[in-house]
Chains A and B, each alone.
Chain A
Amino acid sequence: MSATVNPPNKKRIRNSALGLLAVVLVFYFGFMALLIYRSHH
């Protein structure tokens, strides 16, 4: 599309998106895991 989306930048974009997705999944499953842990202790 333009000079701003060159191959190294593409990699950075992909990695940042995947990193943020990982944070989202940690929050989603983390709270459920926390409650399950709490109910057993």
Chain B
Amino acid sequence: MAEAHAAAHDHHDDHDHGPAKGIKRWLFATNHKDIGTMYLVFSLIMFFIGGAMAMVIRAELFRPGLQIVDPVLFNQMTTNHALVMIFGAVMPAFVGLANWMIPMQVGAPDMALPRMNNFSFWILPFAFTLLLSTLFVPGGAAAAGWTLYPPLSLQTGDSFPMLIFAIHMMGASSIMGAINVIVTIMNMRAPGMDLLKMPLFTWAWLITAYLLIAVMPVLAGAVTMLLTDHFFGTSFFNAAGGGDPVMFEHIFWFFGHPEVYIMILPAFGIISEILPTFARKPLFGATSMIYAIASIAFLSFIVWGHHMFVDGMPLAAQLFYMMSTMLIAVPTGVKVFNWTATLWKGSISFEPPMLFALSFLFLFSIGGFSGLMLAIVPVDFQYNQTYFVVAHFHYVLVPGAIFGIMAAVYYWLPKWTGHMYNMTLAKWHFWLSTIFVNVLFFPQHFLGLAGMPRRIPDYNVQFTDWNMVSSIGGFAFGLSQILFVIVIVRCVRGGVKASDHVWDDAKPTGLEWTLSSPPPYHSFSTAPHIE
């Protein structure tokens, strides 16, 4: 973004108290860095829990036939893997990054609503304890898929109200996080920081927060109506009582499609910060990047019907949803073009955050292209409910959203801890992740095109070979994530001292680099002046 210099500001916070001691520091945390850290640690734990569920799925699918789990538990694994990864791993990780970086990027001392910030984090452990405990109640956990389509989801056992309450808590947490982000950005920017001078990560998060405000209440409304259908005799989605189960799908995907962008727009912001730093060039077309993100956010509200082509809908509706979906390729193309143009004739170096950012650029594009294929109505009729769809959205979410998060952690970790991490181990983590994420998900395109349905524990023998390859990729990808934890833990415990700019020869721009490494407890006790 525009060059932002902080005038001399006071690094001392001698008028402020430091962190509280012991457990109170975390239980009663109002500091954006402490809350950001808790969000990031929580999301890492959830990443491994959701990953363990994925390993159960891949272990069962290693060979045809039923070997390890019964079909009901398999369906519980697919459902809860999705819920844990989306609401427990990816979204909290981005909120954690927002907590750490937004006040530092806009020159604020903290988030605008610190006590609500504490509340929005501490809801999450309760929400996910409740969600995971459903695996142990009579009738088992939800097994109808994360989309919770009725009437199937209404057949969930005793765990149904627990599931609904857990989703409500996750939604409340996300909404509070989004309100905090918007209010902080709109009210706490340093003097002289116009909106167009804000860094791209902050911009991407501002747009994401508006998406959250608009769609999380819709999900909450939809699951509330499921609850009343189940327990209070309403018929919102019950055809026997005059309701319409397809209406649930419309409402769900009105939330669900923007949700996809909630999980990727902050990653767009991260990549837009990292590529210019390590290409040693300003971001190409920075303003057009902001307009592109805003356009994608707008389009995300009018494309939900592409998830429901096979439900049956008028031809005009099919055409509308197909065209509007394909239109998303235009702003996305602007972004990929700008990222590529930023790299063009740059003096590129390949530190771990840059490696993850470059991998994101290539692999997310694969997910984008398979998304374009799925947007075509007659093609979708063939691919719907096959592993091609699974391959598509995992390319968007794993080397897309998750690699974006990993790139951000490797970019800012030395700033947070004050120590450099082990570059060799981080590069090993990168190469193992990039190789095995492709071994894991690329064969799933072939399986889907050959007709293998998704959400099944058993399959025809003709699909065996690629399932074995995919499972081997899955186990190796999962194991390689242990390296990520080792790099982070070692960096937190010590290491070579990081300078204030961290990536000295790359000269990163932005207010966060004007602070010490690690930054003071309250980032900007005196507002910096932006030239």
The chain A residues found within 8 Å of chain B, CB to CB, are 1-5, 9, 12-13, 16-17, 20-21, 23-25, 27-32, 35, 38-39
Q: Is B173 among interface residues, defined by CB-CB distance under 8 A? A: no
Residues of A contacting B190 in the complex (Cβ-Cβ under 8 angstroms)? 4
Find out whether the CB atom of B220 lies under 8 angstroms from the CB atom of A21: no
Q: How far is the CB of B458 from chain A (nearest CB, A)?
A: 38
In the complex, residue of chain A having the shortest beta-carbon distance to the beta carbon of B30: A1
Partner of B213, one of A2, A3, A24, A32: A24
- 20 new A-B contacts at CB < 8 Å, known A5-B112, A16-B186, A20-B182: A1-B109, A1-B110, A3-B526, A4-B188, A4-B524, A4-B527, A5-B188, A9-B187, A16-B183, A17-B112, A17-B113, A17-B116, A20-B178, A20-B179, A27-B217, A30-B221, A31-B221, A35-B225, A38-B247, A39-B242
Contacts A4-B109, A16-B182, A29-B221; A23 near B213 (Cβ below 8 A): yes
Q: Measured between alpha carbons, how far is A9 from B183 in the docked complex, in Å? A: 11
Residues of B contacting A38 in the complex (Cβ-Cβ under 8 angstroms)? 247
**Size of chain B's interface in residues, with CB distance under 8 A?**
39
Find out whether the CB atom of A13 lies under 8 angstroms from the CB atom of B112: yes
Find out whether the CB atom of B108 lies under 8 angstroms from the CB atom of A39: no
Residues of B contacting A4 in the complex (Cβ-Cβ under 8 angstroms)? 107-109, 188, 190, 524, 527
In the complex, residue of chain B having the shortest beta-carbon distance to the beta carbon of A38: B247
Q: Which DSSP category, helix, strand, loop or mixed, fits chain A's interface? A: helix
Q: How far is the CB of B92 from chain A (nearest CB, A)?
A: 19
Q: Measured between alpha carbons, how far is A24 from B178 in the docked complex, in Å? A: 11
Q: Measured between alpha carbons, how far is A12 from B183 in the docked complex, in Å? A: 9
Pair count A-B, CB < 8 A? 84
Q: How far is the CB of B32 from chain A (nearest CB, A)?
A: 11
Q: How far is the CB of B210 from chain A (nearest CB, A)?
A: 9
Residues of A contacting B109 in the complex (Cβ-Cβ under 8 angstroms)? 1-2, 4-5
Q: How far is the CB of B27 from chain A (nearest CB, A)?
A: 20
Partner of B187, one of A2, A12, A21, A30: A12
Find out whether the CB atom of B526 lies under 8 angstroms from the CB atom of A2: yes
In the complex, residue of chain A having the shortest beta-carbon distance to the beta carbon of B525: A2
Q: Please give me the 6 A-B residue pairs with the lowest Cβ-Cβ distance, nearest first.
A: A27-B217, A28-B217, A31-B221, A2-B109, A20-B179, A16-B183
Interface centre among A5, A20, A21, by most chain B C-beta atoms within 10 angstroms, is A20
Find out whether the CB atom of B214 lies under 8 angstroms from the CB atom of A27: yes
Q: Is B224 among interface residues, defined by CB-CB distance under 8 A? A: yes
Q: Measured between alpha carbons, how far is A3 from B189 in the docked complex, in Å? A: 11
Find out whether the CB atom of B522 lies under 8 angstroms from the CB atom of A1: yes
Considering only residues 300-351 of chain B, those with a C-beta below 8 Å from chain A are: none
Residues of B contacting A9 in the complex (Cβ-Cβ under 8 angstroms)? 187-188
Find out whether the CB atom of B222 lies under 8 angstroms from the CB atom of A31: yes
